[in-house]
Amino acid sequence: MIDINLIRENPELVKENIKKKFQDEKLPLVDKVLELDEKWRKVKFEEDNLRAKRNKISKEISEAKKKGQDNEVSRLMEEAKKIPKELEKLEDKRKELEEKIKEIMMKIPNIIHESVPIGKDDSENVEIEKIGEPRVPDYEIFNHAELAEKLGGADFDSAKETSGKGFYYLLGDLARLHSALLAFARDYMIKQGFTYVIPPFMIRKKVVEGVMSFEEMENMMYKIEGEDLYLIGTSEHSMIGRFIGKTLNSKELPLKLTSYSPCFRKEVGAHGIEEKGLYRLHQFEKQEMIVICEPEESYEWYEKMLKYTIDIFRQLEIPVRVLECCSGDLADLKAKSADVEAWSPRRKAYFEVGSCSNLTDAQARRLGIRIEGKGKRYFAHTLNNTALASPRALIALMENHQQKDGSIKIPKALQAYLGGLKKIEIKK
């Protein structure tokens, strides 16, 4: 959510930002906010004047009593009796206007960074860097789902029976490899000075509304029937939610947290949910990172966090590339974002394995996360980034380390997590 002062002072800038995101249907929202804000300020002015009048009458009553002016006291008290009802009406009107303004403000997208490329959708994202040499071996690369079954490491058919499409059973060494990836990412982040967290896997609606747009909420979140709880789509949600309504001491910043969690997503309308395998799922696991920092430090942290993910995949010996998300591909709260994509030698293309985002103060403004320092209070900046999400990372590892006989070579970085195991072989 952006600062309403920006709409008051520069509504054309806000409209131009909406146009850059190709959301022209939201342009009338800016004028609507200005209209409601004008009404709000009039009501607030009347309310403040009435409160001042009440205070003035209270002093006058006190003075009249001291002077023994009983008639004046009676007159003033009669006048004072009318104020509470008038004040209540104004308060109700002000709160009603505030709710309407907030509802609209939460639909207006965050101001994108000047470096963000302008484009309608993810087809216009811009490649900014490649890390590692994409390799296509001279032998056939098995589809990851087929290979997982050959390795005795997955059971998709039983998962379909117990839970439906978009679920899986991982077994034996492949399940161990999946867990090793997450443990490696966890330990890597701890070495970077991040505090390890296991957060709640369910959050209340007020947190959901604070961390994402309404469109994302509808398409992603699973609601717990009969309770004010949602299953998290990523641990960033509950990690940021931990600080709702809090004021942080500037001396304690930046807050650097990394968390493990299962993640649950409806994936409404998502391509690939019908396919057998591990690519697009209703359930997966992730090692996440978040930073809460001073506004002037957020883009420096954005670059650092992106490099952490790149280095994790470098150590896993998996080639990746970084795509700068264009304006039309940015979720409403994001000011700048980049996707990390891993190389698929089977498809001879890259696929998404993580995303790094700077939300500036938009998320903090929704959740009421402030900083106290420099003799004032102001909103924090929040960032999040995928350290590693699996089974996406597992697919990338299975393809890039697949040998001619279908066995999977274990990268050195993971061998210690697997008791020294160097290869997973097809079961005979």
Strands of the sheet containing 202-203, edge to edge, are 202-203, 230-231, 222-223
- If we measure between CA atoms, which residue out of 357, 402, 404 comes closest to residue 382? 357
User: What is the sign of the dihedral through the CA atoms of 311, 317, 318 and 323?
Assistant: positive
SS (H, E, C) 340-368: EEEEECCCCEEEEEEEEEECCCHHHHHHC
Residues 88 and 219 in one domain: no
User: pLDDT (tens digit, 9 = 90+) per residue, 333-351?
Assistant: 999 999 999 999 999 999 9
Residues 306 and 354 in one domain: yes
User: pLDDT (tens digit, 9 = 90+) per residue, 76-131?
Assistant: 888 888 888 899 999 999 999 999 999 999 999 999 999 999 999 999 999 999 99
- C-alpha 221/C-alpha 224 separation (Å) is 10
Residues 217 and 363 in one domain: yes
CATH number at residue 318: 3.30.930.10
Mean pLDDT, consecutive 10-residue stretches, the chain (428 aa), reads 94 97 96 96 93 88 85 84 89 94 94 97 96 93 92 92 92 96 98 97 93 79 93 93 96 97 80 72 94 97 98 98 97 96 95 96 96 93 96 96 95 96 88
Residues 135 and 101 in one domain: no
User: What is the sign of the dihedral through the CA atoms of 400, 235, 267 and 310?
Assistant: negative
Return the ∠ at Cα 150 (arms to 147 and 153), rounded to 5°: 85
Tell me whether residue 111 is in a domain: no
Q: What is the pTM of this model?
A: 0.90
Domain that holds residue 78: 4-105
Residues 274 and 411 in one domain: yes
Q: Are 294 and 255 in contact (CB under 8 A)?
A: no
Residue corresponding to tokens 């709260």: 333
CATH number at residue 20: 1.10.287.40
